[in-house]
Amino acid sequence: MNIKVLLPVSSGDRLKYFKLALNSVLTQTFSDFAVVICIDGIISEDIDMYIKSIEDKRIHLMRNDTNLGLAATLNKAIRSFPADIYFRMDSDDICHRRRFQRTLEEFEKDDELMIVGTECIEIDDEGMEIFYKKMPFQAEIKRWAISRNPFIHPSVAIRRKFFDIVGYYNEGFKKSQDYELWSRAITKNVKMNNIHEPLIWFRVSNKFWKNRTLKSNVRNELKVSFYLIKHLNGYVFIPKILLKALLRFMPVWVNKVMYKYGR
C-alpha cells in the first residue's frame, strides 16, 4: 500500500514545533510511508535549513514559489504525489506513536471507509495538556457536522478514492476548507469515522485563536452549516449556529471561555 503524509509548512511556523511534529511522524510504529513536506511560499530560514539537513529517505519536498494557501497546497500535493492513503499532519502538532498503525487497522476492517480521524489531547504553546477532545462516531457525524467540524483536520487519513467521489479541497475557502470538504462528503453518503482514542496532541496556540476569530473563518463556517442544514433538513440548529457565529466576533478572551465550556 502506497502511503503519503502531507505536512504543510508556511511563513510564521516555528522550528521548535516543526521538529516535534516531524519527529513524531518519522518515529511511528508503522514506518512504510513517505512524507511530503509542502513548503508554501517563503518560510523561516531556520526551518528551511533544518529541512535541507534531514537525511531520511522517506522525505520528499514540494515547494510553491508563492504562498498558495492550505487548500491549493494540499490539492497540488495530492495530484503530484499519488498514494492509496494520505495522512494529514500540521507543523505544530504531535502524533501518538501508534497513530498510523491504528488508523490503518480501521481502514483494513472496511474497504468502504474513506476517512478516519481521531480524538486529541489539546496542548498549549508550552506543550502542557489542556483538554481531551472527543469526536463523533459513525452515525453521530452527520448531526454533529451541522453545527461544528466533525473531524480534527491534522488527525485524518483519507483514501485516494475519496477525492474521485467528492472532489478536492475548495480553493475558494482560505479557512475551514476541511469542514467544507467533509460537508460535501456527507451529502454523498461517504463512509467516515473517528477512532475513539486521542492519537494526536493538538496545539491550541495564539495562532489558533487568531484564525478562529477571523471574519473569513466565521463566514465560511456559516456557509458550510447552512449547506448542511439545507441537505439534512437541520433547521432546528439555526439558532445555535447563529449564536455561535455571533460569539466568535467577541474578544478573544470571551472565545476562550466559550470554547472551554462549549466543546
pLDDT at position 232 is 83
Question: Of 147, 144, 31, 152, which Cα lies nearest the Cα of 97?
Answer: 31
Residue 24 cell numbers, joined: 513524531
In single-letter form, the type of residue at position 251 comes to P
Give the C-alpha separation, 11 to 257, whole Å.
29
Give the C-alpha separation, 156 to 136, whole Å.
13
**pTM across the whole model:** 0.90
Residue 215 cell numbers, joined: 471574519
pLDDT at position 184 is 97
Residue 43 CA, chain-centre distance (Å), reads 20
pLDDT band at 100 (very low <50, low <70, confident <90, very high): very high
Q: Which residue has the cell 448531526?
A: 143
21 close to 87: Cβ distance less than 8 angstroms:
no
DSSP lists the bridge partners of residue 131 as 122
User: How many residues in the chain?
Assistant: 263
- Using one digit for the tens of pLDDT, what is the confidence trace for 160-217? 999 999 999 999 988 889 999 999 999 999 999 999 999 999 999 766 656 555 666 7
Residue 96 cell numbers, joined: 501518538
Which residue ranges form the domains of the chain, and what is each CATH number? 3-261 (3.90.550.10)
pLDDT at position 236 is 73
Question: Of 174, 207, 222, 156, which Cα lies nearest the Cα of 72?
Answer: 174
Q: Check pLDDT > 80 for residue 54.
A: yes
Give the C-alpha separation, 164 to 179, whole Å.
18
Biggest CA–CA distance in the chain, Å, is 54
Helix, strand, or coil here: 217? helix
Euclidean distance between the first and the last CA atom of the chain, given in angstroms as a whole number: 36
**Section 41-63 average pLDDT:** 96
pLDDT band at 77 (very low <50, low <70, confident <90, very high): very high
Give the C-alpha separation, 212 to 216, whole Å.
9
pLDDT at position 234 is 77
Give the C-alpha separation, 107 to 99, whole Å.
13
242 close to 129: Cβ distance less than 8 angstroms:
no
**Section 119-135 average pLDDT:** 94
In single-letter form, the type of residue at position 181 comes to L
Cβ burial, residue 57 (10 Å; 0-12/13-18/19+) = exposed
118 close to 155: Cβ distance less than 8 angstroms:
yes
